[in-house]
Amino acid sequence: MTLPPGTPDLKVLDLLVSVAETGSLGQAAARHGISQPAASMRIRALERSLRLTLLERGPTGSRLTQAGAAVVEWAMPVLDAARALVSGVAALHADQQGRLRIAASMTIADHRVPGWLLALRERAPDIKVALRVGNSQQVADMVRHREADLGFVEGPHAPRGLRSRIVGGDELVVIVAPSHPWATRRKPLPLPELSATPLILREPGSGTRDAALRLLSRPALPAAELGSTTAIKSAVAAGEAPAILSRLAVASELADGRLVSVPLEDHTLLIRRFRAIWPTEAPPTGAAAQLMALVART
């Protein structure tokens, strides 16, 4: 059986459904990781193909026409079937390979993933896990390119074009050497003073760096940019400059006095979230779903 002429592409149908769900062409475009002009062009091409007007576009958003609502209603079971097909194939691959590929940002890989994998091994000892570590941007790229079945990153929002779920979080801390003037200050550090101070930062693409820069208003030029948390801790301990890192990553240094944490006036600004991420069209199944269930309970 062959498909009839003019059968729409699944991706543009999915885009149309997103417009119906969000009520906005711009929000639908963001959900799919494309620009609004590109989304508009794809919807117009679908309208020409079907010879129907699907959307009424206005200054306050886009809404479905009667024909558009009918197409969305017919498209949804088709898309559900396509997702089931993709998920089923992914599950078959997982069963055949007996392997779960995950990627995690450095903080999560060092301080959360080992416990998660130990719990997974106790429940499913036959699953072989391959772990890759990078910064949050690199992890997102691995998931987009299907080099990882599941990713774990830091940040308030899911990376563009991916779905996510919050799986915990941590607290960032301002750290200095014991000899630094801030180490003995009696009052919490004002945010403007922190913003005006050159800091040692992680490299571009790091979730810790992004969180630090979101915290600062008009940040000063960095004192240095280093590619690992270990290197930053060593530089701070040597008295080069302050830094902002995860409390998880500096717990031992704070405990033995090699580093000192400096309280901020509004400590709630230092709370951040960890997220599990996966491709929009391939939600976690099989071993990935088992891991997600364990993560949710920790």
Could you report the per-residue pLDDT of 162-213, keeping only the tens digit for each? 999 999 989 999 999 999 999 999 899 999 999 999 999 999 988 889 888 8
CATH number at residue 76: 1.10.10.10
Q: Are residues 293 and 152 in the same domain?
A: yes
Q: What is the mean pLDDT of the chain?
A: 89
Asked whether residue 170 falls in the same domain as residue 260, the answer is: yes
Clarify whether residues 163 and 231 are in a common domain. yes
- Check whether residue 32 and residue 132 sit in a common domain: no
What pLDDT shows up at residue 92?
A: 62
Asked whether residue 39 is domain-assigned, the answer is: yes
Q: Give the domain extent around 147.
A: 99-298
User: Angle 168-172-176 (CA atoms, 0-180°, nearest 5)?
Assistant: 155
Q: How confident is the model at residue 157 (pLDDT cuts 50, 70, 90)?
A: confident
Q: How many angstroms separate the Cα of 5 from the Cα of each of 2, 38, 72?
A: 9, 24, 19
168 Ramachandran zone, left/alpha/beta (phi>0; psi -120 to 50): left
117 falls within a domain: yes
SS (H, E, C) the chain: CCCCCCCCCHHHHHHHHHHHHHCCHHHHHHHCCCCHHHHHHHHHHHHHHHCCCCEEEECCEEEECHHHHHHHHHHHHHHHHHHHHHHHHHHHHHHHHCEEEEEEEHHHHHHCHHHHHHHHHHHCCCCEEEEEEECHHHHHHHHHCCCCCEEEEECCCCCCCEEEEEEEEEEEEEEECCCCHHHHCCCCECHHHHHCCCCEEECCCCHHHHHHHHHCCCCCCCCEEECCHHHHHHHHHCCCCCEEEEHHHHHHHHHHCCCEEECECCHHHHEEEEEEEEECCCCCCHHHHHHHHHHHHC
Q: What is the pLDDT of residue 98?
A: 57
Identity at 97, one-letter amino acid code: Q
- Residue 242, pLDDT score: 96
> Using 50, 70 and 90 to split pLDDT, how confident is the model at 19?
confident
Q: Residue 22: is its pLDDT beyond 70?
A: yes
Per-residue tokens: 142: 């691995």
In this prediction, residue 291 carries a pLDDT of 93
- The pLDDT value recorded for residue 285 is 87
Most confident of 15-24, 92-101, 249-258: 249-258
For residue 259, pLDDT over 90 is answered with yes
pLDDT in tens, 39-66: 899 999 999 989 999 998 877 777 889 9
Quick one: 184 and 286 in the same domain?
yes
Q: Please indicate, yes or no, if residue 131 is contained in any of the structural domains.
A: yes
CB 68 within 8 A of CB 53: yes
Task: Name the token pair of 216.
Answer: 């600062």
Other beta carbons within 10 Å of 294: 18
Closest CA to 280 of 160, 193, 197, 186: 160
pTM for the predicted model, two decimal places? 0.62
What was the pLDDT predicted at 62? 76
Mean pLDDT throughout 149-154?
94
Q: Using an 8 Å Cβ cutoff, are 2 and 129 in contact?
A: no
Asked if residue 279 and residue 184 are part of one domain, the reply reads yes
26 & 112 share domain: no
- Residue 169 and residue 73 share a domain: no
Tell me how many domains the chain contains.
2
Q: What's the pLDDT at 263?
A: 93
Residue 144: pLDDT over 80: yes
Specify if 2 maps to a domain: no
Local confidence band at 20 (pLDDT 50, 70, 90 cut-offs): confident
